[in-house]
């Protein structure tokens, strides 16, 4: 996903402001836009995958250049963000499958009712075996 042109123009200021621990409102003031615009820029940046790349590069820069590093708090904050990012990826990969099997006692139904129920069960079973159509 390509970032909008205006977001690309603001991105260096946003990155510097994040390193300087600025708030969204402070970043908006620096960029002369609303906080909602910065929020949209950040969402687009995260969704593009470029944020993750930048975060890893910044983490590595701070980690390797420890003598020139800003206060240790900045390093710890970056470390936390990387940890959360990795945790989210692991959580997203987890899938939960639920399967239920229900048995119905047909002895209380008439032959006609049993026939209708049998047909309905076959239809439902066929549908459950089909893979859903891909929309995307």
pLDDT of residue 82: 73
pTM over 0.85: no
pLDDT of residue 112: 74
pLDDT tens for each residue of the chain, 136 residues long: 688 899 999 999 999 998 888 899 999 999 999 999 999 999 999 888 888 888 888 877 776 666 555 566 666 777 777 777 666 555 555 555 666 676 766 566 677 777 777 777 777 777 666 565 555 5
pLDDT of residue 29: 95
Scanning the chain, the segments in alpha helix (DSSP H) are: 5-19, 24-31, 35-48, 50-64, 72-93, 111-129
pLDDT of residue 80: 74
pLDDT of residue 123: 75
In 10 A of CB 59, how many CB atoms?
16
């Amino acid at each position: 996903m390509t970032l909008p042109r205006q977001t690309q123009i603001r991105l260096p200021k946003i990155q510097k402001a994040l390193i300087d621990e600025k708030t969204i409102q402070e970043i908006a003031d620096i960029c002369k836009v609303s906080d909602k615009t910065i929020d949209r820029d950040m969402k687009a940046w995260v969704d593009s995958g470029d944020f993750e790349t930048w975060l890893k590069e910044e983490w590595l820069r701070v980690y390797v250049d420890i003598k020139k590093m800003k206060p240790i708090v900045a390093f710890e904050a970056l470390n936390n963000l990387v940890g959360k990012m990795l945790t989210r990826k692991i959580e997203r990969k987890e899938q939960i499958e639920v399967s239920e099997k229900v048995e119905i006692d047909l002895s209380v139904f008439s032959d006609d009712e049993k026939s209708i129920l049998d047909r309905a069960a076959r239809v439902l079973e066929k549908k459950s075996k089909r893979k859903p159509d891909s929309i995307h």
